[in-house]
Amino acid sequence: MGRGASILTSVFVLALIPALLGVLVGWGGFLGWQEKLPRSRGAGVRTEATMRSDEAFRVANRVAGLPTMVAGAVGVLAGAATLAMPSTLGAVLAATFGVVAVFVLVAGGGVLGHRAATLIPAPVEPAGCGGCACGGGGCGALR
């Protein structure tokens, strides 16, 4: 394998980094936007405010969905730009700026989602016992 083929292979592998990151991030954003992102998994906006209820998690990830999908598109476009660069330096810069842009957009979406979740009222605690540890049988069962 000659030097030219080696550089081409390196640029192709380099282009895969932002492109695959973009596909994964974009898919997560789409699931959040469609309100199909499961709370039990590790994906999505996960802050104290978003994890306090299913509704807060759903709203936060719906709000963060659009910026996250845009981040995914930026990642895929950065991968394509990396392949289109005429020099190795240009390819490295395109991939680097693309990955940084993806992370900035995802972080921005996360902040917006967190802010939306803080506007959702906290779930009301059940009005039964006041902490008598009765196991759900009611405090009258202890009398």
Q: How many DSSP H helices and E strands does the chain contain?
A: 3, 0
SS3 37: coil
Number of domains in the chain: 1
pTM of the full structure: 0.81
Per residue in 17-41, pLDDT tens? 999 999 999 999 999 999 999 887 7
Query: Amino acid letter at 108?
Result: G
SS3 133: coil
Per residue in 70-88, pLDDT tens? 999 999 999 999 999 999 9
Domain span holding position 20: 3-142
